[in-house]
Amino acid sequence: MRILAAWNNAAEAELLSLYLDLEDNQLAVAANAAECLALVQAQDWDAVLLSLSFPDIDGAYEVFQQIRRIQPGCPIVGACFPQEVFQLARFMTNGLKAYILRDDVGDFLFLINVTLQNAVAGVLAERAQKLSEKLREEIDSVRKLQETFIPINLEAPQGYTVAARYEPSQIQVVGGAPVVLAGGDYYDVFKINDETLIILVGDASGHGMKACMSIMIMHTLVRMIRSTVYRDTAAFVAEINKHLCSQTIVQQEGGFITLLYGILRRDTHEFQWTSAGHPMPLLHNLNDQSVQEMGDVEKSGLPLGVYDDAEYETCTMTVPANSKLILMTDGILEAFPAARTDGHREFGLRGVVATLKEVADKSPEETLQALFDASNAFTEGSGRHDDTSVVVLSRE
């Protein structure tokens, strides 16, 4: 700790050197105002110890103001005699971090080192708090930008109903508010015409700003090229992949994006989709209460942004009457109670299937609510550690 002592009592200055100029401390003592201000101008200090009789209260206050102007982030600790305490108010209201009462025998010298350390620690804590608040604001700004491309007021073809929801993960902050992170989940649901519905669900690797920016890039690409090759799901996914492989922010630190891109045709009730490393859709047949993972997992291609010549396959199924189709990211599957010590357990496919059967007669919106509630309850209060997106499409 670099300490500057502005002290005009020569005998006490020698004692200060004994008590402070040790271990990791580096002490400089200024005997007058000019010398003190010259040292403040010359280098940065971790803390300043200022005698409030330097040479008197008014002179010390002028030095105090100059130090605050030159090094506003440096904590200043004052030292005064008991009869001078009433003069402390103007120092304290203008940034004095702490003070010590001097006594005639010099016992106060034993308190100086720990008082300076506490003052420095307090300043560092204030800086950390301000940085935390700034980061919270930055994260919140990006998260709000992300929310602008999460679709609302979804429309489905005649005979179908659709609902979808995205929830970001949270960082639990002890002693403060939780931080809602910008995330890497993405979904889009839109009609090309009255007969065709497009559904996309994506998930960027990792968390926070980078994952969110990766998804923003993919969203932009989807919007740019969706009107040209949307009917061939494998070709569409391959095209998106080639573009993403040239994006540095996606590939940084081994990043990638999983995606499921699907097309529903109302006239034939055919659902065609391509998976790029993404969980396959679930079909809940309400006639016999069966819940099946559709498609062949081996037909799931590489995640996007890994290899620009990756090949993808198309899967096809018929959506039966009186059924629900569920597309989701792995955030809901991987929900777990963080506080448990008896082994790692996840909500998993078993939890999703059990919840779907419990709300078989409910609407897509109510089904969504049940899935989010059940997976969150499974975490026993710790909350889902990953972003979560779910799309529920039901056929009457």
CATH of residue 84's domain is 3.40.50.2300
Could you tell me if 336 and 378 are in contact, meaning their C-beta atoms sit under 8 angstroms apart? yes
In a domain, 334, yes or no: yes
Whole-model pTM? 0.68
Maximum mean pLDDT: which of 26-30, 169-173, 254-258: 26-30
184-210 mean pLDDT: 86
Could you tell me if 266 and 157 are in contact, meaning their C-beta atoms sit under 8 angstroms apart? yes
Q: Which of 62-66, 73-77, 169-173 has the lowest mean pLDDT?
A: 169-173
* In a shared domain, residues 210 and 319: yes
What are the residues facing 186 on neighbouring strands?
202
DSSP run (H or E) holding 296: none
* Containing structural domain, residue 230: 149-395
* In a shared domain, residues 62 and 95: yes
pLDDT of residue 175 exceeding 50: no
Higher local confidence (pLDDT), 338 or 374: 374
* In a shared domain, residues 327 and 264: yes
* In a shared domain, residues 194 and 319: yes
pLDDT of residue 174 exceeding 60: no
CA 271-273-279 angle, 5° bins: 115
Q: What is the pLDDT of residue 214?
A: 82
- Minimal CA–CA distance to 219: which of 197, 250, 253? 250
Alpha-carbon distance of 9 to 57, in angstroms, equals 15
Query: Number of structural domains, the chain?
Result: 2
83-88 mean pLDDT: 88
347-365 mean pLDDT: 96
* In a shared domain, residues 242 and 158: yes
* In a shared domain, residues 28 and 72: yes
| Model pLDDT for residues 207-262, shown as the tens digit of each residue | 666 777 788 788 888 777 665 556 789 998 998 899 888 887 777 767 899 999 99
* In a shared domain, residues 357 and 271: yes
Q: What is the pLDDT of residue 137?
A: 77
Maximum mean pLDDT: which of 54-58, 182-186, 369-373: 369-373
| Model pLDDT for residues 323-354, shown as the tens digit of each residue | 999 999 998 999 898 777 677 789 999 999 99
What's the mean pLDDT when you consider all of the chain?
87
